[in-house]
A and B are shown apart, each in its own frame.
Chain A
Amino acid sequence: MTLSREEVEHIALLARLDLSEDEITRYQQQLSAILDHIAQLQALDTRHIPITSSVLPPRTRLRGDEPKTGLSREQALDIAPDVENRQFRVPPVME
Chain B
Amino acid sequence: MAIEILMPALSPTMEEGTLAKWLVAEGAEVRSGDVIAEIETDKATMEVEALDDGTIGKILIAAGTEGVKVNSPIAVLLEEGESADAVASAAPAAAPVTEMVAPAAKAASATPAAAAAEAVAAEPVASGDAVEITVREALRDAMAEEMRADDRVFVMGEEVAEYQGAYKVTQGLLAEFGAKRVIDTPITEQGFAGLGVGAAFGDLRPVIEFMTFNFAMQAIDQIINSAAKTLYMSGGQMGCPIVFRGPNGAASRVAAQHSQCYASWYAHCPGLKVVSPWSAADAKGLLKAAIRDPNPVIFLENEVMYGQSFEVPTDDDWVVPIGRANVLREGSDVTITAFSIMVGRALEAADRLAEQGISAEVIDLRTIRPLDTDTIVNSVKKTSRLITCEEGFPFAGVGSEIAMQVMEQAFDWLDAPVARVTGKDVPMPYAANLEAMALPQIDDILASAIATCEGFRGA
Task: Indicate, yes or no, whether A interacts with B.
Answer: no
Residues on A lying within 8 angstroms of B by beta carbon are none
Residues on B lying within 8 angstroms of A by beta carbon are none
